[in-house]
Every structure is written in structure tokens, then in C-alpha cells.
Amino acid sequence: MDILTISIIIMAILQIGAAIYAVIQKDLLYAVIATSVISLILSIFFYVLQAPDVALTEAAIGVALTTIVFVITIRNTERHEDKRHVKIGNKIIKK
Amino acid sequence: MKKVIVLILLAVVAYYLVDVFSQIKFGENRFQGENVRDFYLDKSKNDLHVSNSVTSIVVNFRGFDTLGEVTVLFLAATALGSVLYRRKAHGEAVLFNASTIVRSGAHLLFAPILLLGAYVFIHGHLSPGGGFQGGTIIATGFLLMLLAYHDYKVSHGVLTWVESLAGLTFASLGLTGLILGKTFLENFLPIGTINDLFSGGIIPIIYIAVGFKVGAELTGVLYTMLNEKEYKKS
């Protein structure tokens, strides 16, 4: 295995880890940062796979703009997932 | 009366749609041995003198799709503005000034970021990148200033003018090709030598227009979202 293959495998594992972290994290700000990490690694992948146009788009839109739109939304709503309400089936129950 | 006119118009549209599509057999190979990929690569190198063939496909061969994308972006930005933009502000904006280090850094980086964006969309036909990427980079430059200074103002009037002029340039270049040549976005300018800055006919002009349009739209979106006033909850 050459160095490129090994680094691609490491980046893929990081990407999957960031995706799982984004799902299980209750603090939405951290979850958004994790999704932007996914986009960052994805843009590196695009560059390695010889699609620099797509890599530029992914870096600019996926990493910068989408993240900032989510951050603004979180600032205007709530940062943490609501712990006072629990969803069981179709009913939302107050704790 | 209105209904009759609508029905007649719909009938005309339906007739031409059926007429066109009935000539194409379903699943038929319409290139008879020739490949679309080879055709595009060959034509972008020899007929258009564009070294980045992705650009020639996006702007020339599939230019109509790009016009649609730009329109979608314009509609999305307009919808967001009409929902969030309020002339009379109630309550306080929750923005505050950043620290001195961030402000100085933003001031220092603002011009180079704009320059990088302009470089990316002016050289869209030579190197990777293009109107969308360059416009987004310009928008991130404005975002930096908006985050650093809470009272940084972007004029909505100027943004609207830039957007409208860029869109008009795109559409009128396409229509000029339709009038002079045969198809929408047909090249009518001299193509120059390959790998030159002034090459590719209308492609660099269209990408510059797209860059200005995307940059102005995304800046407007970010400005509207960041300056949304928080209502005092009662």
C-alpha cells in the first residue's frame, strides 16, 4: 500500500467518525462543526480524484456557507436538543 | 375568454412537445458510434479554444442548465429576503463587535479574499473554478466583514443592481447567439489562441457575469440572515 491509499483510508474513517459524532451529539453547534469536517474531507477527496472544480465548490459552499447558515439558525433558535420533551411513538410527552 | 386562451396556448405547447418527442425512439442511441464525451472534449479544444473543458461544458454546451441554476439561486435569495427582511426593526440585533485581533485580521484579509474570488471567476476557462466558486469566495469575504463589524452595511440597492445587470448580461449574450448563430449561447466572438486570457469567445464574459451574480446574491442572503432582528418575546 502506498502513502496515498493509507491517507485515503484514514480520511474515510475520520469522515465516518465525524458523521456518527454529528448524529449522536446533543449540542447542535458541535454537530454542525462535525458536518463541516465531513465536507472538508470530501473536498480533499474530490481533489485527489482529479475533480478540482467540484473540490472548490465543495470547499466554498459545504465548508463555509452551509456551516454559517446553520450557525446563524442555531443562534436564532436553541443550541441544545430539547431534553424536556420525549417522543414515544407519535406522542410528545413532557418530562 | 381567459380559459380559452390558456387552452390554446397549452395546445400549442403540447403539439410541439409531442412533435419533437415522437421523433425520438425510446432508448435509441442517437450518436451512432460517436461519443458525447469525445465530441465535447474535441469541440472545446478545437472550436472554442477553452483549455478547461469542464467550463466549456457548463457554460456553453449545457449553458441553458446554468441559466436555470442561476435563476433558481435568484428565486431562493429573493424568497429568503422577502421572508426575513424587515424595514422597521423591533428589538435589538444580537450582533456585537468582535475583538480587535479579529477586526484587524478581517480588514487585512478582506481585499485578498475578494481578489482570489475575482481571479477564480476571471480564469474560469483556464484553471479550475468558475463563476459559482468565485462568487461564493467573494460572499465569504463579505461574511468575514459582517462577522467582525456589527454595523457593517451592505447596500441592498447596489446588490440588486449588480444581480440584475449580471443576469441581463447572461441572458442577452445567449439571445444574441440565438439571433446571430443558430442556437442559444452560440459563440459569436473571436475565440483567440488557446490558453490565453482572452480566449473562448463569450465563455469568460458569461462566467464573470455569473460570478458577480452569485457573489451579490449570497452576500445579500448572509446580510439578511445576520441582521435579522430578534423580536422581544412577551
Task: Say how many domains are in chain A.
Answer: 1
Least Cα distance to A46 among B131, B129, B21, B35 occurs for B129
pLDDT band at A92 (very low <50, low <70, confident <90, very high): low
b/e B99-134 (16+ beta carbons within 10 angstroms → b): eeeeeeebeeeeeebbebbbebbbbbbbebbbbbbb
Mean of all residue pLDDT scores within chain B: 85
Span B36-45, pLDDT tens digits: 888 888 888 8
Cβ separation B143–A61 shorter than 8 A: no
Bridge partners (DSSP) of residue A93 are A86
Whether B54 contacts chain A with CB within 8 A: yes
Cell 447596489 -> residue: B158
Which of A11-15, A55-59, B48-52, B114-118 is predicted least confidently? B48-52
Range in A80-94, B2-16, B55-69, B118-132 the model is least confident about: A80-94
CA distance A41 to A37: 6
Task: Check: CB of residue A79 under 8 Å from CB of residue A27.
Answer: yes
| Minimum CA–CA partner of B95 in chain A | A75
Instruction: Look at residues B76, B69, B51 and name the one whose alpha carbon lies nearest to residue B170.
Output: B69
Amino acid in position A90: N
B63 touches A: beta carbon within 8 Å: no
Residue A94: phi and psi, rounded to 5, are -80, 140
Q: How far apart are CA B86 and CA A66, in angstroms?
A: 23
Q: What is the mean pLDDT of chain A?
A: 86
User: Hey, is B99 helix, strand or coil?
Assistant: coil
Q: What does R_g of chain A's alpha carbons equal in angstroms?
A: 17
Interface residues of A toward B, Cβ cutoff 8 Å, are: 52-53, 55-57, 60-61, 64-65, 68-69, 72, 75-76
Rg (C-alpha) for chain B, rounded Å, is: 22
* pLDDT band, residue B133 (cuts 50/70/90): very high
Q: Quick one: CA dihedral B69, B75, B201, B55, positive or negative?
A: negative
Nearest to B140 among A57, A64, A69 (CB): A64
Cα dihedral sign, A59-A65-A66-A70: positive
Q: What percent of chain B has pLDDT over 90?
A: 33
Q: Is residue B23 a contact partner of residue B35, using CB atoms and an 8 Å limit?
A: no
Contact B154, B163 (CB under 8 A): no
Instruction: Classify B154 as helix, strand or coil.
Output: coil
Nearest neighbour of A53 by CB, restricted to B129, B218, B228: B129
Domain ranges, ordered by start, for chain B:
33-226
- In this prediction the ipTM stands at 0.78
Length of chain B: 234
At A20 the pLDDT is 95
Instruction: Give me the mean pLDDT over the B26-40 stretch.
Output: 74
Question: pTM for the full model?
Answer: 0.81
Q: List CB contacts of B231: < 8 A, sequence separation 6 or more.
A: B90, B91
How many residues are listed for chain A in this entry?
95
